[in-house]
Amino acid sequence: MDKLKTFVNEHPQWTSWIVLSIGLVAILIWSARDVGLTAGQWATFILATIGVAGLSVWIIGWEDEEDEESDAA
């Protein structure tokens, strides 16, 4: 458990990406469960969802970087 806490404290963006990805993929699977997608389509949608989660966390992180730069100045 201590290793998990250390990872979360040292890598907040990775943690956010993982948590957001899990949530978005769960929503995707629940929403599209009756659509009749093929395995390739599922894989594509899941990978795209994980990518969107990563981009979202990265864009949100821009604000943190701007705050750190202004504090340093």
One digit per residue, the tens of pLDDT, for the chain of length 73 reads 899 899 999 999 999 999 999 999 999 999 999 999 999 999 999 999 999 999 999 999 988 777 677 777 6
Tell whether 57 is covered by a domain.
yes
Task: Specify if 7 maps to a domain.
Answer: no
Which residue range(s) make up the domain with 63?
Answer: 37-73
How many structural domains is the chain composed of? Answer: 1
Domain for residue 63, yes or no? Answer: yes
**Is 17 among the domain residues?**
no
Residues 49-72 as b or e (16 or more Cβ within 10 Å = b): bbeebbeebeeeeeeeeeeeeeee
Residue 50 located in a structural domain: yes
Within a domain: 16: no
Task: Assess if residue 59 is contained within a domain.
Answer: yes
Any domain includes 25: no
State CA 51 to chain mean position distance: 7
Cα gap 1→67, rounded to integer Å: 31
